Amino acid sequence: MGLPEQKEPKVQAPDNLFVPLKESLHDAEMIAKPSISYWKDAWLRLSRNKLSMSGLVMLILLIVMAIIGPMITPYSYDHQVLTEGNLPPSLEHWFGTDNLGRDMFTRTWNGARISLFVGFMAATIDFIIGVAYGGFSGYKGGRVDDFMMRIIEILYGLPYLLMVILLMVVMGPGLFTIIIALTVTGWVGMARIVRGQVLQLKNSEHVLASRTFGASASRVIRKNLLPNTMGPIIVQMTLTVPTAIFAEAFLSFLGLGVQAPVASWGVMANDGLSVILSGHWWRLFFPAFFISLTMFAFNVLGDGLQDALDPKLRR
């Protein structure tokens, strides 16, 4: 169990603690290391993690393919050749064709645009709202926390499907509507996790110290609490991506999403379900594989980020 990193903070902490205090409050705050070096340090540590870097490379490749993929075949994503339906992968059609004879390679990368965009957007927005809401609620505690948590319960309790149908009727279909639909309740999980972590940490010494020196709530949350809760936050974020990709498929079902003949990975995976019986495996395999790959890349990257961002593991 001897993890080598563990010893570092023990050595480092006294160094920091015993720096003599300057007179002014402003200088007192300078105890915190400059943030540039924090991110720089994080990046350095991340870049040393091979697995995480390969995750990053994979993500970049996926994004590049999403951009150029549909262009490198002679087919368009929506061109049907009805007589060439359900062809297995071949030199002509690298990923085979679907039931209407459309090239699956082109469709897969065309779908990647939507799925990746939706996944990234949902994760980012959930992160921003969730962390701000959860952090504030947990940090303030008391009545404010109670009240904010009741709002979350209400959001959880309302029938999502009903909200989404109304949203669709009011706003009409489109990517923007999808993002709204995904984030209207999506951030709630993140908020609860952050709040739980903050509740746990807010009475620890470094937070108390920071507060004693008069740091504002937002500063304490940003500088003291968040870096220490990065682990669960990143896990939650990586979970959001595939959830969003599949939720998008569900929303398409309600007519909310991008309209046919464009198909995202989630929609393609849904469409391909009965191919488990018919043996047209390529129609399910490729979208499912790339969803998994995206997930995988996010996970290993997330793991690396978690290690890199954790102040306790700093060198």
Partner 1 sequence: MAKYVLSRLFAMVITLWIIVTITFFLMHAVPGSPFNQERNTSEAVQQNLEAHYHLDEPVFIQYVIYIKSLATLDFGPSIKQSSTSVNEMIGRGFPVSAELGITSLLFAVISGVILGILAALKHNGAIDYIAMTFAVIGISVPNFIMATLLIQQLAVTWEIFPVATWATPLHMILPSIALATGPMAIIARLTRSSMIEVLNQDYILTARAKGMTTFQIVTKHAMRNALLPVITILGTLVAGVLTGSFVIEKIFAIPGMGKYFINGINDRDYPVIMGTTVFYSAFLILMLFIVDIAYGILDPRIKLHKRGN
Partner 2 sequence: MKKLVVLLLSIVLLLGIVGCTTTENSSSNSGSGSDESKQEGKKVLKLNNGSEPTSFDPPIGFDSVSWNALNNLMEGMTRLDKDDKPQPAIAKEWELSDDGKTYTFHLREDAKWSNGEPVTAGDFEFAWKRLANPDTASPAAFLAYFIEGAEAFNTGEGSEEDMMVKAVDEKTLEVTLESPVAYFPSLVSNPAFFPVHKETVEANPEWHTEADTYVSNGPFKLTKWEHDSEFVFSKNENYWDAANVKLDEVDWAMIDDTNTEYQMYKTGELHTSDVPADLSEELFNDGKAQVEDQSGTYFYRFNLEMEPFQNENIRKAFAMAVDQQKIVDFVTKNEEKPAHGFVAYGFEDASGGDFREVGGDLVTTDADKAKELLEKGMEEEGYDELPNVTLTYNTSDDHKKIAETLQQMYKEVLGVNVDLANQEWNVFSDEQKQLKLQFSRSSFLADYGDPINFLESFQTGHSMNRTGWSSEEYDRLIQQAKEETDEAKRFELMHEAEALLFEEMPIFPIHFYNQVYLQSGDVTGIVRHPVGYMELKGAAIK
Measure the CA–CA gap between 125 and 133, rounded to whole angstroms. Answer: 12
Nearer to partner 2, 85 or 141 (CB): 85
Q: Which two tokens stand for residue 254?
A: 């309600």
Kindly state the smallest distance separating residue 235's Cβ from partner 1, in Å. Answer: 5
* Residue 42: contacted member of partner 1, partner 2, none (CB under 5 to 8 Å, by partner type): none
* Residue 253: contacted member of partner 2, partner 1, none (CB under 5 to 8 Å, by partner type): partner 2
Kindly state the smallest distance separating residue 271's Cβ from partner 2, in Å. Answer: 6
Interface residue list for partner 1 (CB under 8 A): 1, 3, 5-6, 10, 51, 141-143, 145-146, 149-150, 153-154, 156-159, 161-163, 165-166, 169, 189, 192-193, 196-197, 199-200, 203-204, 231-232, 234-235, 238-239, 242-243, 246, 269, 273, 276-277, 284, 288, 291-292, 294-296, 299, 303, 306, 310, 312-313
Nearer to partner 1, 75 or 229 (CB): 229
Half-sphere exposure of 115 (CA within 13 A, CB side): 33
Q: Which two tokens stand for residue 306?
A: 């978690």
Interface residue list for partner 2 (CB under 8 A): 50-51, 54, 78-80, 82-83, 85, 99-101, 165, 168-169, 173, 252-255, 259-261, 271, 273-282, 284-285, 288-289, 292-293, 296
* Residue 99: contacted member of partner 2, partner 1, none (CB under 5 to 8 Å, by partner type): partner 2
Kindly state the smallest distance separating residue 51's Cβ from partner 1, in Å. Answer: 8
Q: Which two tokens stand for residue 32?
A: 């915190």
Q: Is the peptide bond before 242 cis (omega within 30 degrees of 0)?
A: no
Q: Which two tokens stand for residue 121?
A: 């957007």
Nearer to partner 2, 13 or 276 (CB): 276
Find tokens 């969803």 and name the residue.
Answer: 291
Identify the CA nearest to 62 among candidates 102, 104, 117: 117
3-state secondary structure of 97: strand
* Residue 11: contacted member of partner 2, partner 1, none (CB under 5 to 8 Å, by partner type): none
Residue 150 · residue 191 · CB < 8 Å:
no
CA 96 to chain centre: 31
Nearer to partner 2, 91 or 169 (CB): 169
Query: Which is it for the CA torsion 279, 284, 286, 291, positive or negative?
Result: negative
Nearer to partner 1, 6 or 90 (CB): 6
Break the chain down into helix, strand, coil percent, rounded to 5. 75, 0, 25
* Residue 306: contacted member of partner 1, partner 2, none (CB under 5 to 8 Å, by partner type): partner 1
Measure the CA–CA gap between 99 and 86, rounded to whole angstroms. Answer: 5
For 167, other C-beta atoms within 10 Å of its C-beta total 18
Residue 100 · residue 85 · CB < 8 Å:
yes
Residue 31 · residue 16 · CB < 8 Å:
yes
Nearer to partner 1, 97 or 115 (CB): 115
* Residue 271: contacted member of partner 1, partner 2, none (CB under 5 to 8 Å, by partner type): partner 2
DSSP bridge partners of 103: 97
Nearer to partner 2, 218 or 278 (CB): 278
Nearer to partner 2, 74 or 142 (CB): 74
* Residue 231: contacted member of partner 2, partner 1, none (CB under 5 to 8 Å, by partner type): partner 1
